[in-house]
Amino acid sequence: MLARAKELKGELTRLRRAIHRHPELGFREVKTAALIAETLESLRIRVQTGVAKTGVIGYLGEGGPVVAIRADMDALPIQELNEVPYRSQVPGVMHACGHDAHVAMALGAAMLLREIELEGEVRFLFQPSEERPDEEGKSGALRMAEEGVMEGVEAILALHVDSETESGSIKISPGPMAAAVDSFKATIMGRGCHGAYPHRGVDPIFIAGEVILAIQGIVSRRIDPVKQAVVSIGTIHGGTAENIIPQEVELTGTIRSFEQGVREQLHTELEKAFRVARALGGDFRFNIEEGYPVMVNGERMAELIREVAIALLGQEKVLPKEPAMGAEDFSFFLAQAPGAMFRLGVKKGEMRPGHSPHFDLDEEALPIGAAILAESARRCLAAAFN
C-alpha cells in the first residue's frame, strides 16, 4: 500500500498545492468542495455534495460493514508569509493547519482503495469548518453528524498533521487526546466618572483586575491538582480615553478540560470569580458557550492504526501521543462510532507551527498518510471492525 501511495506522490502534491493556493474559510469551501467532487467522480466514486452546507461525501463499495474516513477542508484567517510557488492567492486567508494536506491524503486513500476489492463500504467525509462554528454555534462535524452522515458507520478514522514530529513518523495512543473546549464572555459593570475623581464612580477596570486574579486561582486552587484544566483570558476591552473611568469592561476567554466533572466545576468556579465584582460595588453579566467535547481515541482503532503504521514504517517510527489541550470537532463523529485520529509527522528542518503565517509541511509525508488511512480502512472492513 505504501509503495503504491508513493507512486501517487505527484498527484497528491498537486492536489494539496491547488487547495493551498485557493484557501476558503469555514462553510465557504465552494472551490475546495468542487475539486473534491471532481476527483472522486473521476475515480467513479459516488458523490454527494452540499452536505452541512459545503461538505462532500464519497461512497466506495457496497453493503456492510461501513468504515468512514474524515478530512476537514477549511482554512484560517491568516495572511501567508511563505515565499513558495503555491502560496495562498487569497489575501488574509491561509491553510495554516494542514487541512489542505488532510484533503489530499483522504483523496489519496480513495485512489488506493479504488484499486482493490473491498469487503464493505468506505465512506469519505470531507467536512467543512473544523476551525470555528457558524452563527448557530455548530461546527462542520456537528452539522454533518446531525444530517445523518454517520448512519450505518461502524468505525471512523482520521489524521492530523503534526509540525513538531519528524516526517516519516506518526503518533497514536488510545484515550483522551484533545480537550473539551468552551468559551466565556463576561461584562463587568461599574459606574463611569472622571479619572481625576475615581471616588465618584465604580471603576470596572480595577474590578476586572481583581476578577482576573480570582480566575487565575481557579485551576491552581480549586481544581484537583491531578486533573488537567486550563482557563485563559483572551481579550479585555474597556475605556475610551485616559481620563475617563468607563462604565464597563468586557472579557472573553477559553476553558479546556478532559473530564465532564472538571468541565462543570470550571463553569461554576468562573461564575464565582466574577461575583467578586458585586463584592466591590459593581455587577456582571456572564455567559458560557459550550464547544467541542473531549476527543477520545478508541482502544481497538488506535491499536489497529498502530499495527498498520508499524507494518508500513517500522516500529521506531510509531510513537505514543500525549493528550493536548487543543480541541478537535472530530469528537462529534467519535460520539457516534468508535474510531481514532493519528498525528502524522510533517516536520522537516525548522519547525513551522500550526496557525502561524509561516506554517508549511514536508510533502514527502503525503503518501504515508494516504497509505495508513487506506490500509487501516481495508483492515477494518476485513475484520468486520466494530
- Domain holding 246, by residue range, is 180-290
- Which residues are marked as active site? 292, 363
Cβ neighbours of 77 (radius 10 Å): 13
Q: What parts of the chain have a pLDDT lower than 70?
A: 384-386
Q: What angle do CA 206, 211, 214 make, to 5 degrees?
A: 135
Beta strand 153-166 with 66-72 is parallel
Q: Please report, for the domain that includes residue 150, its CATH number.
A: 3.40.630.10
pLDDT recorded at residue 178:
98
Residues 6+ apart with CB under 8 A from 225: none
Omega cis (within 30) before 176: no
- 8 A C-beta contact, residue 68 and residue 141: no
SS3 87: coil
Residues 6+ apart with CB under 8 A from 244: 192, 194, 195
pLDDT recorded at residue 176:
97
Q: Which three cell numbers stand for residue 365?
A: 509525508
| Distance in angstroms (rounded) separating the CA atoms of residues 102 and 60 | 18
Considering the domain architecture, whether residues 251 and 344 belong to the same structural domain is answered as no
Considering the domain architecture, whether residues 185 and 312 belong to the same structural domain is answered as no
pTM summary value: 0.94
Q: Please report, for the domain that includes residue 219, its CATH number.
A: 3.30.70.360
- 8 A C-beta contact, residue 173 and residue 297: yes
Considering the domain architecture, whether residues 243 and 339 belong to the same structural domain is answered as no
Considering the domain architecture, whether residues 31 and 157 belong to the same structural domain is answered as yes
Domain stops at, among 273, 290, 307:
290
Considering the domain architecture, whether residues 139 and 64 belong to the same structural domain is answered as yes
Considering the domain architecture, whether residues 228 and 316 belong to the same structural domain is answered as no
Smallest CA-to-CA distance from 244 within 282, 281, 190, 186 is with 190
Domain stops at, among 290, 309, 331:
290
Considering the domain architecture, whether residues 266 and 302 belong to the same structural domain is answered as no
pLDDT recorded at residue 351:
86
The rounded Cα 184 to chain-centroid distance in angstroms is 19
pLDDT recorded at residue 386:
47
pLDDT recorded at residue 385:
55
Q: How many residues does the chain have?
A: 386
229-238: strand order across its sheet: 229-238, 248-257, 180-189, 283-290
- 8 A C-beta contact, residue 177 and residue 324: yes
Considering the domain architecture, whether residues 315 and 337 belong to the same structural domain is answered as yes
Considering the domain architecture, whether residues 123 and 242 belong to the same structural domain is answered as no
Domain stops at, among 257, 290, 323:
290
Number of domains composing the chain: 2
CA distances from 33 to 19, 23, 367, 377 (A): 10, 11, 21, 23
